[in-house]
Amino acid sequence: MTLAARTWGRMSLTARLTAILLPLAVLLAVGTVVGIVFILPPTMDFLGANMPLVRFVVAVVGILVLTIPTAFVLIYMELKVIARMNLRVGPNRIGPWGAAMSLFHGFKVLSKEDFAPTGADLTVFTLAPVVTFLASVMTLLVIPFAPGIFGQDLNIGVLYFFAMGGLAVLGLLMAGWASFNKYSLLGGLRSAAQIVSYEIPLTISVVGVVLLAGTMSMNGIVLSQSGSALDWFAFKQPLAVLIFFIAATAEANRTPFDMTEADSEIVAGFATEYSGMRFGFFFFAEYVNVFIISALLVTLFFGGWTAPINWPWPYNLNWLDAAGIGILWIPIALVALVVATDILGAAIWLIGGREWSAPSAFGLGLLIAGAGVTAAVGLACFIAFDWVQGIFWFFAKTYVFVFTFVWMRGTLPRVRVDQLMGFAWKWLLPASLLNLFVTAAAIIILNQPVIPR
Amino acid sequence: MPARPTRPTTRAARAETRGETRPQEPRPPEQHRSEDDPRIMLDRDVGADLYEPIPPYPTRTEREGEFYTRGDGEMFINIGPHHPATHGVLRLVLKLSGEQIVDVDPVLGYLHRGVEKICENSDYYHVIDQVDPLEYVSSLFQEWAAVLSFEKLMDVEVPRRAEYIRVLSGELLRVASHTLYMGFLALDLGGLTPILYSFIERDEIVEMLAALTGARMLFNYFRIGGVNGDLNHEFMSRLGDWMSRAARQTEANAGLLNENEIFVRRARGVGVLDRATALRFGVTGGNLRAAGVPFDIRRAHPYSIYPELDFNVPTRLEGDSLARYLIRVDEVRESIKIIDQCLHNMPDGPVMAKLPRLLRPRPGRAWGACEGPRGMLGVYTISDGSDQPFRFRIHDPSFLNLETVPTLLPGNLLADTMTIVASLDPVLGGIDK
Amino acid sequence: MDRTLKRRLEARLGTQIQGPIRQRHDQTEIRIQPGDVPDVLRTLHDSVDFRFEILADLAGVDTGESMQVVYHLWSETSPDWLRIIVDGISREDPRCPSATFLWTGAEWLEREAYDMFGIVFEGNRDLRRIFMPPDYTSFPLRKDFLLPDDAARSPGEGVRHVERPYAPAVVADDPAAGVRRAPAS
Amino acid sequence: MSFIPGLGIAKGMALTLRRFFAPKATIQYPETKPDIAVRFRGRLQLLYDEFGNLKCETCFQCAQACPVECIDMGGHDTKGRFYTHWGPAETYGERREESALRRSGRPVPDQAFTHFGPIDLVAVEEILEARDYDPGNMLPILEEVQAAYGYLPIAAIKHISHVTGASYALVYGTATYYSHLSFERQARTVAVCRCTSCLLAGSGRIANAIGEGLGTKLGGGPAGGVALEQLPTHTPGAASPLVTLDGKPQADVTETSAAAWSRSLAGKSVA
């Protein structure tokens, strides 16, 4: 051992690096060759055999991986938008323009200790945030992001969404009851009453859409709205959109109806006793909820991933496909990137004069060139593949509604509990019933689904 | 003896020099600690499950007994003292059945600093400094009440320019205080934005007053017989460009709430304080005028130069939280009108009357009162000829405004406590003195 | 210096007013006995030519020899503040009839006077401490208030009041540990 | 207010959207500093004149007048001989209690100091007892303390200020006002009696002679560590031209030997 130790001691840094990396590289190469030749074919056909299982596993993993970043993006967006509306600037110290703020929210929430109050009933106390977070995360499974890209195309997608909404209430109630604190008790009871009484108008308002689309599967609804913006259900069901929008705000406990976490009355509502990552779950669940209801609003009423105008793309750029240059476009893009950086860097360095040192000039060149190349590649993909367009339109529309929810949070005061209930039962429910009746009557009278040419 | 006559030692020291020393009792070995008092139930013996704010000692008065007996289905809950919606350290013990409030018992004293005791041991200049942190949101008015009382005690005649500067800075601070009031009312109802707009507005005014008086919050600017410093260019320029956009800005900020249906529905008809109860409670200021009694000290008992200024006293009849809010909005307009008049006919001349450095007023009593943003601020001074006031009594309007809460709240919902308490606008510094 | 008010007061309440009616700047001051507080306040509040509806302030005062309760009233009939000084309240057992039958607002003002001076207002249904902690046994604004390290114990504490001082069980062998009586000053 | 139910909310939302694009009110503090008013009293700072020396001679008036006693100051006296200090009670333990107690009307407890060169305060205590702690007759107290200790120790001044409750600035002011009160330890005091019998016996000429010898004149400040003063009262039974050194009568000093004696005295004594 001493010989190896002595030689290791004498070796320089680069020598040590090579001593470590070289064997690893060899091992890797051998492994891939063996894998491709022996292991790949059986796994491929095994997967080919039961594709739906694979699809489900990939979808669940994808959703679990994607929800936290969407929550981060929403938190950051809310911080900046509400700040801008309050004539302030919002976080701008952590990361560029404060972008890493929500990341550090995550770190803070992770690093804080999450303790339970003495009288709390521990199991329910720890399970409550899990239930709330899972309820909101699992609804993402059913939302069609793009033509090919969706978790599971359930033919009862809409019903699945409302089931998950009900599960979220369970989480809030568990939190309210278990944390042995009067404020959270009140918060829990308020959330139960509020979400139950807004669930009904929410569901009835969607039944109109289901009647028109003829199917309950989200994908089906989006396909039935394809074509230009006029085919969207929003224009065929204006009242339903309004009811859905209001009821969905109440469902996600957002501002005019955030009675459950009314910080000026019952401190932090059901989340009073929570801290650390448990509170983190509630915190992220709330923002994932906002994303979900705006995604659903877009899917049901504003045509999901369909483009607003009936434009000719996706234009089949076959030279990009396998027949054409195929996968070769990646190296071409890289070469273009390097060439562009050199040209731009040199140009800046020469023109820039004294204050532009070489590295910073080339750095800026790299930056601009990178942006240019990615834009070009993005545009090419946008034109070539329809799912890239789908994602673009879906997220554009969703973030318009997310902005509206955040905008409402910045402006509106809170509604009182009994006004909230009265509004649901006296106004929203009859309106949604009326809407349902009118749609059904229209279909029967015209004896065909209402699709204008 | 050229040295300045000695600052008189404390009363006890003089008593001691005259030999009437009190026998120094030996300090009792065992201190009376409330923990070892058998009659008091402590948390550790009561067990952790009982978290009722029922006081652990026998009820002392009929009202306390009636409040702390819990009916079936009733629950006690603490709003405060450490709570986002209380204006300072106020603790409201609510007796709830479900979300309905059955009864309220406000508990005060968390911010009691014994200002009256301190003022009795400091000379007349220090007293003005001690009264600043009382109504900290608008501390000039507290100084004004104290200074009015001392001037009556010492028969001092204040030069006209000083009176105009007092009215000018007072009305500016009234606008700042009302703007803050609107922000806090909206914050308690859940709106996030109005509080920021009101703080931006208030900060502008407070920076202006800092240019004039030298301080942003606890000004210590009024003196007995005048003010500390004359107007300077920086103050006038800032006042000029604020006045140019003052009216439009306050309208826009108030507009965010005035017609907002949610705010109107939450504030209208909530916490109605009718004329008779308001008079019975001795409530003064905006809350009384919202109940229909046009009682404003600037008109009812004119002091300083208010008789010469023309402004009207906004009054409403409904007496609910919305009326109290709209009264403040109108008062901001009136104050801007007053500031305008002050600027136009501002006389020149001295800003401070001639007074000896050591003030020893004649033995006697004097009551001075001025109209603060929350009501009548009164000071009752008794002087015994020495240079420390013998008794310095401070009357704060929020003390009586808050007293109406136990009659206004029962019957409303938990969410209405915030509306009613915020619309009454209590400032706990003045209440707890 | 509202002369008419002085005449009206002397005409109406001549018997109950002790000593001269003093007037200076804009205040009129009358002194009355603790006994006839209710009917003086009743006449001032209800009678048509006085109409003192607004209770500006209710203050306790400790003048070293006796305790006083001072009311300030306002009415639109007179440009002056009216100050009613209820004098001659003994310092050992200060009692004064309460004004809550006219102004419920006086309840807290009397609570504060009780908390600071120990003046017991008969007729106030909620006379307990308002600022000081409930187990505080002395009265801070009295002239003989001594600020010992443990402020709950001071000579002023021996004053008899509706609140029984919780004399903690006197330890048999150490009589000094009991509640300290106020020295007969 | 308005008829259409949603109008008020819409107007509010429109306002916030307008404010979304409006210029912001935030000042990025460390980069851009806010402009603080000229008359802003938030900064307690010592003023310097154009020559760079301090416009403050530690007269303690501001520290005395400060209601919350937050001014902490100390400085050397003009001749740079000693360092006096007046600090807030919290940092300098000697006054922590009585600023609060004085405010609450209690008698000010006496408190000895350590870090000012400990002296035993018994003598000061007796003098104050005799003058019944009345700050009114401050000058006699100081003179007696100087007589007792030979000079005015700072600890004594602090003690007087505590016991009588007078503010330190006042005691210090009186002490520094009079030339015959000195803060410096004097090695020797020569006192010449000038009552009529001694004057007839020639004490006037003796005083002048001693004065030249020592380099000072009668009643002047101490020079070379020795001060020449006038004996207030003629001790009964002493010889007529009475000259005392630190209180002890010197029989051998006559008109002729006075100059030599005083020169020898000046040489021996501490410079």
C170 contact B CB<8A: no
B110 contact C CB<8A: no
Neighbours of chain C (3+ CB pairs under 8 A): B, D
d(CA D231, CA D193): 5
> What is the secondary structure of B174-230 as a DSSP string?
HHHHHHHHHHHHHHHTT-SHHHHHHHHHHHHHHHHHHHHHS-SSS---EETTEESS-
Mean pLDDT to the nearest integer, B404-415: 92
Beta strands B364-372 and B375-383: pairing type? antiparallel
Beta strands B91-97 and B75-79: pairing type? antiparallel
Q: Shortest CB distance from C150 goes to which of B31, B40, B281?
A: B31
pLDDT at B402 (0 to 100): 93
A415 contact B CB<8A: yes
**DSSP label at residue C171:** P
Domain residue extents for chain D = 61-104+111-177, 188-268
CB pairs under 8 A between A and D: 35
Mean pLDDT to the nearest integer, C56-83: 93
pLDDT at D81 (0 to 100): 59
Express each pLDDT in B49-76 by its tens digit.
456 677 767 788 888 888 988 888 888 8
d(CA A282, CA A135): 11
pLDDT at C151 (0 to 100): 41
**Interface with D, mutate which of B120, B253, B261, B357 (most D CBs under 10 A):** B261
**CATH number where C71 lies:** 3.30.460.80
* CB contact (8 A) between residue D24 and residue A87: yes
Contact B174, B373 (CB under 8 A): yes
Average pLDDT, chain A: 86
pLDDT at D1 (0 to 100): 46
In chain D, residues with a C-beta closer than 8 Å to the C-beta of B9 are 108, 135, 164-166
Q: Shortest CB distance from B28 goes to which of C72, C166, C180?
A: C180
| A12 Cβ neighbours under 8 A, 6+ residues apart | none
ipTM: 0.79
Average pLDDT, chain B: 86
Q: Shortest CB distance from D20 goes to which of A84, A92, A412?
A: A84
pLDDT at D2 (0 to 100): 52
- Under the banding of pLDDT at 50, 70 and 90, the label for residue C164 is very low
Express each pLDDT in A127-169 by its tens digit.
999 999 999 888 888 888 888 777 788 888 899 988 988 898 9
d(CA A162, CA A248): 11
Beta strands C67-75 and C17-24: pairing type? unpaired
**Interface with A, mutate which of B414, B419, B421, B423 (most A CBs under 10 A):** B414
Inform me whether the pLDDT recorded for D195 exceeds 50.
Answer: yes
Domain count, chain C: 1
Express each pLDDT in A350-394 by its tens digit.
887 777 777 888 888 888 888 888 888 888 777 777 788 888 889
* H/E segment holding residue B14: helix B11-17
Residue of D nearest to B261 (CA): D8
* CB contact (8 A) between residue D101 and residue C147: yes
d(CA A240, CA A442): 15
D101 contact C CB<8A: yes
- Say if C20 falls within a structural domain: yes
C1 contact B CB<8A: no
In chain B, residues with a C-beta closer than 8 Å to the C-beta of C59 are 380, 391, 393, 395
* Furthest-apart CA atoms within chain C: distance in Å: 68
Q: Which amino acid is at D7?
A: L
* CB contact (8 A) between residue C146 and residue D101: no
pLDDT at D108 (0 to 100): 61
Better-predicted residue by pLDDT, C75 or D242: C75
pTM value? Answer: 0.78
In chain B, residues with a C-beta closer than 8 Å to the C-beta of C152 are 32, 34
Q: Which amino acid is at B385?
A: G
Mean pLDDT to the nearest integer, B115-120: 89
D11 contact A CB<8A: no
pLDDT at B397 (0 to 100): 94
Q: Choose among C158, C128, C129: nearest CA to C145.
A: C158
Q: Choose among C99, C28, C36, C26: nearest CA to C13.
A: C36
In chain C, residues with a C-beta closer than 8 Å to the C-beta of B283 are 105
Q: Shortest CB distance from B193 goes to which of A85, A258, A417?
A: A85
* CB contact (8 A) between residue C171 and residue B63: no
- State the residue range of the domain holding C42: 3-157
Min mean pLDDT across C113-117, C132-136, D22-26 is at C132-136
d(CA B305, CA B406): 38
Min mean pLDDT across B312-321, C71-80, D63-72 is at D63-72
d(CA D6, CA B261): 7
- Say if C174 falls within a structural domain: no
d(CA B354, CA A35): 101
Contact B133, B139 (CB under 8 A): yes
Does residue B240 sit in helix, strand or coil? helix
- Under the banding of pLDDT at 50, 70 and 90, the label for residue B3 is very low
Min mean pLDDT across A263-272, A421-430, B268-277, C62-71 is at A263-272
Q: Which amino acid is at B204?
A: E
Better-predicted residue by pLDDT, B347 or B253: B347
Mean pLDDT to the nearest integer, B132-157: 93
Which among A133-137, B7-11, B25-29 has the top mean pLDDT? A133-137
CATH number for domain B115-395, candidates 1.10.645.10, 3.40.50.10470, 3.20.20.70, 3.30.70.260: 1.10.645.10
Express each pLDDT in B12-21 by its tens digit.
666 666 666 5
Contact B227, B221 (CB under 8 A): yes
In chain B, residues with a C-beta closer than 8 Å to the C-beta of C132 are 109, 112
Contact B194, B253 (CB under 8 A): yes
d(CA A403, CA A437): 32
Contact D86, D72 (CB under 8 A): yes
Does residue C58 sit in helix, strand or coil? strand
Residue of C nearest to D102 (CA): C147
Q: Choose among A231, A226, A258, A249: nearest CA to A297.
A: A249
Neighbours of chain A (3+ CB pairs under 8 A): B, D
Min mean pLDDT across B5-14, B339-348, D45-54 is at B5-14
Helix C37-46 to helix C3-13 angle (10° resolution) is 130
CA torsion C123→C124→C128→C131, rounded to 10°? -140
- The number of C-alpha atoms within 13 Å of B418 and in the hemisphere containing its C-beta is 25
B263 contact A CB<8A: yes
A186 contact B CB<8A: yes
* CB contact (8 A) between residue B108 and residue C62: no
Domain residue extents for chain B = 51-107, 115-395
Residues in chain C: 185
- Under the banding of pLDDT at 50, 70 and 90, the label for residue A261 is confident
pLDDT at B239 (0 to 100): 94
- Under the banding of pLDDT at 50, 70 and 90, the label for residue B85 is low
A82 contact B CB<8A: yes
Q: What is the 3-state secondary structure (H, E, C) of chain A?
A: CHHHHHHHHHCCHHHHHHHHHHHHHHHHHHHHHHHHHHHHHHHHHHHHHCHHHHHHHHHHHHHHHHHHHHHHHHHHHHHHHHHHHCCCCCCCCCCHHHCCHHHHHHHHHHHCCCCCCCCCCHHHHHHHHHHHHHHHHHHHHHCECCCCCECCCCCCHHHHHHHHHHHHHHHHHHHHHHCCCHHHHHHHHHHHHHHHHHHHHHHHHHHHHHHHHCCCCHHHHHHHCCCCHHHCHHHHCHHHHHHHHHHHHHHCCCHHHCCCCCCCCCCCHHHCCCCHHHHHHHHHHHHHHHHHHHHHHHHHHCCCCCCCCCCCCCCCCHHHCCCCCHHHHHHHHHHHHHHHHHHHHHHHHHHHCCCCCHHHHHHHHHHHHHHHHHHHHHHHHHHHCHHHHHHHHHHHHHHHHHHHHHHHHHHCCCCCHHHHHHHHHHHHHHHHHHHHHHHHHHHHHHCCCCCCC
Contact C17, C3 (CB under 8 A): no
Work out the percent of chain B whose per-residue pLDDT is above 90: 60
Burial of D193: CB neighbours in 10 Å, binned 0-12, 13-18, 19+: buried
d(CA B429, CA B397): 11
Work out the percent of chain A whose per-residue pLDDT is above 70: 94
In chain D, residues with a C-beta closer than 8 Å to the C-beta of B2 are 177
Express each pLDDT in C39-51 by its tens digit.
999 999 999 989 9
Q: Tokens for B235, please give them.
A: 């103050």
- Say if C169 falls within a structural domain: no
Express each pLDDT in A279-321 by its tens digit.
999 989 999 999 999 999 999 999 888 888 876 666 656 555 5
Q: Choose among B209, B326, B318: nearest CA to B274.
A: B318
Residue of D nearest to A84 (CA): D20
Inform me whether the pLDDT recorded for C181 exceeds 70.
Answer: no
d(CA C96, CA C121): 5
pLDDT at B158 (0 to 100): 94
Which among C24-38, D33-47, D150-164, D188-202 has the top mean pLDDT? C24-38
Q: Tokens for B36, please give them.
A: 């070892």
